[in-house]
Chain A
Amino acid sequence: MKNVTIDVKHITRVEGHGNISVNVENGEITKLQLAIVESPRYFESFLRGRDYREAPHITCRICGICSVGHTTSSVKAIEAACGIEVTEQTVSLRKLIFYGEQLQSHVLHLYFLAVPDYLGVGSVIPLASTHPDVVKRALRMKRLANDVCAVVGGRHIHPIAVHVGGFTHIPKEEELLDLKRRLEAARADLAETASLYAQLKLPGLHRDTEYVSLKVTDNGEYAFYDGDIVSTLDPKPTKVKDYRKRVIESVVEHSAAKHCVSPNAPTYAVGALARFNNNHEQLHPAARGVAKELGLTAPCDNPFHNNTAQLVECVHCVEASIELIDTLLTRGLTVEAIVPPTRFGTGAGASEVPRGVLFHEYSLDEAGKIENANLVIPTGQNLANIEADLRAMVPPLLDSDMSTQEMTLQLEMLVRAYDPCISCATHFLDVEWVS
C-alpha cells in the first residue's frame, strides 16, 4: 500500500496564502487539510464605531479583486438598515460596475491563474513570449473590464463614486458610448477564448454536494446584483435577511477563514458553477450558446467546470453591460442627490460576487454608528467543500500511476478551479502532503 506525503506551502496563483497537507499511510488518508495561513484581518472589528456611510469604503479594502463586490453587498446592507430606497439610475450604474468587476475577475482567473496549468507552464509570464496573442487578448479584455469600473466608480480597486444612497459622480454619455463600442468588439475576443478553452482537457471529479446561490424570482434576471437564496437541494427561496437559516458559520483551528455549513448538506459550494446550476435559464442566449459549445449542462457537479461557468458568465456580463448602457443612454443620465436614511436599525445585503454569494449584515446605533457587523465571504463558504473534494480526489489519484508531483499539481488545480480568494476569506491556503 502507498505512503504519500504532500506538503504544498503557499499555493501559488490564488488570492492570498494557503497550504494543502495530505498524509497517506498504507493507502489510507490520515490527514487532509486546506490550511488558511493568511493573516487574520479583523474587518468586523474595524467597523465598530464608524459612521454607516464608511462601511462600503472600509469593507471594499477586504479584497482588491472583489472590491466592487464588497462595496455592493455593503451599500445594500446599510441601505436595508437605514430604510433607503435608491433610484433606478443608481441600480443600473451599480449593475454596470458590478458586471465590469465580474469580467475583470473572471478574465484574470481564467487567463492568469488557471490556463497556465492547462498549458503546462508555471505562470502567465512565459506565455507572453510563447503565446503573445493569448496574453494580449487577456490584457485587452481585462483593460476593458477595468475601464467599465473606472468610468462608473472612478477606479476599479476601491471604487470612489459608489455610496450608500447613490452616486457622487455620473459617467458622461461619450464615455458610455465608447465602452459600448469596446464591449461589442470584445465579443470576438470571447469567441476566441471559448475556442482556446474548448481545446483544454479538464480533469473530472464528481461528488454530490449542494450548490447555493442567489436567484432573482420576479424579473427573471440572472442573479448578480440581487436575489433570494436558493440551492440545488432546497430550491425554495429564502430572503437575504434570513441568511442565517441557510449559512451556519464556524471557526476551525487550521483556518483563519471561517468555515460554513448548510442545513441541507455537510458542505456546499458557491460561485460561478453554483449560479449556473441554479440560474442557467436566465443567462443571456449568447452565454447559453457558449455553455452548449463547451459541453456545460446543468446540473453539473464537476468542480473543474467552475472555470467553464466563469467563461459563460463573461459572455453574459458583456451582453448585459451593452443592454444596460443602452437603457442608461435612452433614459438620459441625471445628477441625483444621495438618498438619506429614514431610520437606523439592522440590515443584511447580498450580491453574487465573482466567487459566490457574499453577505454583509450591520446593526447601527441611533446616531448611525456601526455597532455590529458580520460578513460571510464566498471562499469561507467553499473551504469545507474544497476539502471534501480533495478527499474524494486522493483515492483515484493513489490508484493511478501518477508521481507525487503530478498528484500535487492535480490537487492544486482543483483548489485553483474554485478561484479561492483567501485575502477575502480571512477576513486563505498551502498544500502539505505528509506520510
Chain B
Amino acid sequence: MKPKVAIFSLTSCEGCSLAILELEDRLLDILGAVEIVNFREGMTPRSWDIDLGFVDGAVSTPEDEKELLTIREHCKVLVAIGACACLGGINTLKNPQGKDSYAPYVYGDQAKWFPTTDAKPISAVVDVDYQLPGCPMVKEEFLRFVQCILAGRTFRLPETAVCVECKKNGNLCLYEKGVVCLGPITRAGCEAICPTYGSKCEACRGIVSEDALKAANINLQEQYDVSLEDVLADLRLFGAHQDTTLP
C-alpha cells in the first residue's frame, strides 16, 4: 500500500507547499510512490486517513489552533515544514508589538472582526515528529526526508553550522566585507545559499545549538565589533531567537 500523504497550510505564504510543486521533474516519481489524499492548493478530493502529514505555516488564530488539533488527530506522522511551522517564522515579527497595536494598525476599528493570537510554531500546540526548517524549506531536504521515510531509514537534520557549507562553496566570508552574517549559529542544510548569492544568513533554519549561540555572543562582539542589537534584529526575523538577550 502506498503511504497516504496530506499537505496543509496554516498562517503562511504557502511557499513551502509550493516548494513541493517546484520539485518538478522529481514530482512524478514522488506521485508514483505515495498517494496524495489532501492538498487544497492542488486538488478537490479529500480523505482524512493520513499516514504522513506535512504542515506549513504558524499558528496565529484560534482557527489555526483548532485545525492543527484536527490535523494531528488524523496524521500518523506529522512533519512541520518551513520556518513558519518550525519556529513561528516571519509571522512572529508582530508578537513584541502586542495585539492591541498590530491589529488596529492593519484593520483600524474593524480589527475585532478578525480574531488573532501571537504567532507560534506548531510544536507549541501539538507533538511534532519531524521538522524540515527553512524559509522556504529546502526542497532537496524534503526529497531526502521522503526517501528516508519510504525506505524506513531514520532521518536527521545536519548538526553543523551554515559556515561549514559556506566555506565548502569557497565563498569569501561576509564579515570580511563588514556584513553581519548568522551563518556561525545557524543549522546547515541549505548549502549556505544566501551567502553564496552574496547575502547574509538570517537564521531561517533556526539555531544549530545553544552552545553556538553562546559562542557567537562572545566572538561576534569581540572579533568583529558587531552590535548586539543588529544580531538580535536578524535573529528575530524568522523567529529563531525571540528573547531580547543572548545566553
Residues of chain A whose beta carbon lies under 8 Å from any beta carbon of chain B: 10, 12-13, 15-17, 37, 39-46, 48, 50-51, 54, 57-58, 61-65, 67, 108, 112-113, 116, 122-125, 128, 135-136, 139-140, 142-143, 146, 153-158, 160-161, 163, 167-169, 251, 253, 256, 423, 427
Q: Judging by beta carbons under 8 Å apart, are B107 and A135 in contact?
A: no
- Contact string against A for B residues 4-38, beta-carbon threshold 8 Å, 1 for contact and 0 otherwise: 00000111111111110110110110010000100
Q: Does B41 contact A (CB under 8 A)?
A: yes
Task: State A161–B200 Cα separation when bound (angstroms).
Answer: 10
Q: How far is the CB of B77 from chain A (nearest CB, A)?
A: 21
B43 (CB) vs chain A CBs: closest residue:
A123
Q: Point out the residues of chain B lying under 8 angstroms from A63, CB to CB.
A: 13-15
Task: State A139–B199 Cα separation when bound (angstroms).
Answer: 30
Choose among B105, B108, B197 the residue that contacts A168 (Cβ–Cβ < 8 A): B197
Q: How far is the CB of B74 from chain A (nearest CB, A)?
A: 16
B57 (CB) vs chain A CBs: closest residue:
A39
Q: Point out the residues of chain A lying under 8 angstroms from B11, CB to CB.
A: 39, 41
Q: How far is the CB of B31 from chain A (nearest CB, A)?
A: 6
* 21 residue pairs from A and B, CB less than 8 Å apart: A12-B40, A16-B14, A39-B60, A40-B61, A42-B105, A45-B94, A50-B93, A57-B237, A58-B90, A61-B89, A64-B16, A64-B136, A123-B44, A136-B28, A143-B24, A155-B193, A157-B18, A160-B198, A168-B197, A423-B12, A423-B13
Q: Judging by beta carbons under 8 Å apart, are B102 and A125 in contact?
A: no
Residues of chain B whose beta carbon lies under 8 Å from any beta carbon of chain A: 9-19, 21-22, 24-25, 27-28, 31, 36, 39-45, 60-61, 63-64, 89-91, 93-94, 97, 101-103, 105-108, 110, 113-114, 116, 135-136, 193-194, 196-199, 202, 233, 237
Q: Point out the residues of chain B lying under 8 angstroms from A108, CB to CB.
A: 21
Task: State A125–B90 Cα separation when bound (angstroms).
Answer: 31
Task: State A143–B60 Cα separation when bound (angstroms).
Answer: 33
B112 (CB) vs chain A CBs: closest residue:
A253
- In the complex, besides A39-B63, A122-B43, A251-B113, 13 extra interface pairs with C-beta distance below 8 angstroms are A12-B41, A45-B101, A48-B105, A50-B93, A57-B237, A58-B93, A64-B16, A67-B15, A112-B21, A140-B24, A154-B194, A158-B15, A169-B197
Q: Point out the residues of chain A lying under 8 angstroms from B40, CB to CB.
A: 10, 12-13, 17
Task: State A45–B15 Cα separation when bound (angstroms).
Answer: 21
Choose among B13, B43, B61 the residue that contacts A125 (Cβ–Cβ < 8 A): B43
Q: How far is the CB of A44 from chain B (nearest CB, A)?
A: 5
Q: How far is the CB of A126 from chain B (nearest CB, A)?
A: 9
Task: State A158–B16 Cα separation when bound (angstroms).
Answer: 11
Q: How far is the CB of A335 from chain B (nearest CB, A)?
A: 9
Q: Judging by beta carbons under 8 Å apart, are A251 and B116 in contact?
A: no
Q: How far is the CB of A406 from chain B (nearest CB, A)?
A: 14
Q: Point out the residues of chain B lying under 8 angstroms from A167, CB to CB.
A: 198
Q: Point out the residues of chain B lying under 8 angstroms from A16, CB to CB.
A: 9, 14
Choose among B41, B44, B61, B136 the residue that contacts A158 (Cβ–Cβ < 8 A): B136
The 9 closest A-B pairs by CB, nearest first: A64-B15, A168-B198, A123-B43, A122-B44, A154-B197, A45-B102, A46-B93, A39-B11, A143-B24
Q: Judging by beta carbons under 8 Å apart, are B15 and A143 in contact?
A: no
Task: State A423–B16 Cα separation when bound (angstroms).
Answer: 13
Task: State A65–B12 Cα separation when bound (angstroms).
Answer: 12
Choose among B13, B106, B114 the residue that contacts A62 (Cβ–Cβ < 8 A): B13
Task: State A46–B60 Cα separation when bound (angstroms).
Answer: 14
Q: Judging by beta carbons under 8 Å apart, are B28 and A64 in contact?
A: no
B17 (CB) vs chain A CBs: closest residue:
A64
B93 (CB) vs chain A CBs: closest residue:
A46
B22 (CB) vs chain A CBs: closest residue:
A146
Q: How far is the CB of B24 from chain A (nearest CB, A)?
A: 4
A375 (CB) vs chain B CBs: closest residue:
B106
Q: Judging by beta carbons under 8 Å apart, are B114 and A169 in contact?
A: no
Q: How far is the CB of A390 from chain B (nearest CB, A)?
A: 19
A108 (CB) vs chain B CBs: closest residue:
B21
Q: Point out the residues of chain B lying under 8 angstroms from A40, CB to CB.
A: 61, 103, 106-107, 114, 116
Q: How far is the CB of A46 from chain B (nearest CB, A)?
A: 4
Q: Judging by beta carbons under 8 Å apart, are A39 and B61 in contact?
A: yes
Q: Point out the residues of chain A lying under 8 angstroms from B12, CB to CB.
A: 423
Q: How far is the CB of A19 from chain B (nearest CB, A)?
A: 12
Task: State A42–B101 Cα separation when bound (angstroms).
Answer: 11
Q: Judging by beta carbons under 8 Å apart, are B193 and A143 in contact?
A: no
Task: State A13–B42 Cα separation when bound (angstroms).
Answer: 5
Task: State A158–B101 Cα separation when bound (angstroms).
Answer: 28
Choose among B15, B24, B91 the residue that contacts A41 (Cβ–Cβ < 8 A): B91
Q: How far is the CB of B245 from chain A (nearest CB, A)?
A: 18
Q: Point out the residues of chain B lying under 8 angstroms from A64, CB to CB.
A: 13-19, 136
B194 (CB) vs chain A CBs: closest residue:
A160
Q: Judging by beta carbons under 8 Å apart, are B110 and A142 in contact?
A: no
A112 (CB) vs chain B CBs: closest residue:
B42
Q: Judging by beta carbons under 8 Å apart, are A156 and B105 in contact?
A: no
Q: Point out the residues of chain B lying under 8 angstroms from A156, CB to CB.
A: 22
Name the residue among A45, A57, A140, A143 with the largest chain B CB count within 10 angstroms.
A45
Name the residue among A39, A40, A161 with the largest chain B CB count within 10 angstroms.
A39
Q: Judging by beta carbons under 8 Å apart, are B90 and A42 in contact?
A: no
Q: Point out the residues of chain B lying under 8 angstroms from A10, CB to CB.
A: 40
Name the residue among B22, B61, B63 with the largest chain A CB count within 10 angstroms.
B22
Q: Point out the residues of chain B lying under 8 angstroms from A157, CB to CB.
A: 15, 18-19, 22, 136
Task: State A41–B224 Cα separation when bound (angstroms).
Answer: 36
Q: Judging by beta carbons under 8 Å apart, are B42 and A42 in contact?
A: no
Instruction: Say yes or no: A163-B16 contact (C-beta < 8 A), given A13-B42, A54-B237, A139-B25.
Output: no
Task: State A163–B194 Cα separation when bound (angstroms).
Answer: 12
Q: Point out the residues of chain A lying under 8 angstroms from B102, CB to CB.
A: 42, 45
Q: Point out the residues of chain B lying under 8 angstroms from A253, CB to CB.
A: 110, 113
B117 (CB) vs chain A CBs: closest residue:
A39
Instruction: Say yes or no: A45-B90 contact (C-beta < 8 A), given A63-B13, A64-B16.
Output: no
A147 (CB) vs chain B CBs: closest residue:
B24
Task: State A290–B90 Cα separation when bound (angstroms).
Answer: 41
Q: Judging by beta carbons under 8 Å apart, are B15 and A44 in contact?
A: no
Q: Point out the residues of chain A lying under 8 angstroms from B94, CB to CB.
A: 42, 45-46
